[in-house]
Amino acid sequence: MFTTTGSRGLYKAPLSKGLLLVLNGLTVMLTLLPQYQELFMYNLQAVTQQHQVWRLLCGRLVCLDVKDSFCSSLLIYNFRIFERRFGTRKFASFLLGTWCLSALMDFLLAQAFQFLFDYEVEELPAGLLAPVFSLFVPFYRLIPRMPVTQVLGHIHITNKSLVYIVGLQLLTSSPFMWLLALSGLISGGLYHSNVLWLQKLLFVPAWVSCIGRYILEPVFSSSQPSSETPLGMGATLDIQRQQRMDMLDQQLLLAQYNESRRNARQQQQSGLLQWTRLFPSLRHRGQNRPPMQPRPQAQSHPSTQPLLDNSPVAEEQVARLVEMGFSRIDALEALRASNNDINMATNFLLQH
């Protein structure tokens, strides 16, 4: 289902692996020992009226519903890409900041719901749900859409569709899950945008990160996968299949690449790629072939030898590259240089 998230598993994602193992293990234990589930219920009335503040910690970490635990685990596994790219400390700081902000948002939204509809929210679904929903904010803003296929000729399926479907499934699993989802999205937007310098106020200290690096990371770290064959102009089908499996990891690099291109255009620098100079063997493939004997009937017709520079390019492939963030000019150049091979053209644009 998540074959586009990469083939390296939980490598360089010890925090994600720890959350998956510990939280799911506790969920299984509480399922087998239901007499202890009352301690992990997220009861708002117990927090506000009976001052049981400890329920904020217990009730907002471990899922009591196996379906919620399964869906949130799929999302955490998918969002591990942020831990790889930004580092474990920044990823942990984001989860900590959104966890604190969403705890406040839960009470504010519950009070607003009671004021508008005269209904008191007593209990919310338990688990690390609001921070998981908050990760949809960087997922929406940083990961570009890439079309995968079409259903019925009109419905476009992208590389992000299945992630949103799992989030929708989690959203509809409980009556008041929408409140946690809204709380998480608001918290994620505030922290990601660094409103009121929240990233400087809510973060994981360096000494805590050092302790986790030397104590917890050896326990939850994963071994390095086997080396992959480097991509090149003579890429085989196996390498291209491996590239599709690692596509989401490359998309963050693509977002950074687009940002650098925009900055370069603002500085009025000529940033057009000279594919003729970089790939002459592909660009002028027809010139490298041995000369052929002219046919007798060719003399009676005008010369119709097509230039490779003006070779037709499929508009569908150009549109796919433009949706990925590349300009139309560069997309045309890349497709012409690669003889309309969209996988090779994408490699060229990402590498240059």
pLDDT of res. 221: 86
Compute the Cα dihedral for 41, 44, 48, 50 and give only its sign. Answer: negative
Give, for all 352 residues of the chain, the pLDDT tens digit: 343 444 467 888 999 999 999 999 999 999 999 999 999 999 999 999 999 999 999 999 999 999 999 999 999 999 999 998 889 999 999 999 999 999 999 999 999 999 999 999 999 999 999 999 999 999 999 988 888 888 877 788 888 999 999 999 999 999 999 999 999 999 999 999 999 999 999 999 999 999 998 988 889 988 776 544 444 433 444 455 555 556 655 666 666 666 666 666 665 444 444 444 444 444 444 444 444 444 444 443 444 333 344 557 788 888 888 877 788 888 888 888 777 878 777 777 776 6
Provide DSSP, 50-112.
Answer: S--THHHHHHTTS-SSHHHHHHHHHHHHHTHHHHHHH-HHHHHHHHHHHHHHHHHHHHHHHHH
Compute the Cα dihedral for 248, 250, 256, 260 and give only its sign. Answer: negative
The two tokens of residue 137 are 């904010």
pTM for the model: 0.67
The DSSP symbol for 176 reads T
User: CA 110: distance to chain centroid?
Assistant: 30
Query: At residue 90, what is the residue type?
Result: K
pLDDT of res. 289: 44
pLDDT of res. 272: 47
DSSP H/E element including 237: helix 237-245
pLDDT of res. 79: 95
Using an 8 Å Cβ cutoff, are 89 and 204 in contact? yes
Using an 8 Å Cβ cutoff, are 248 and 6 in contact? yes
pLDDT of res. 115: 95
pLDDT of res. 300: 38
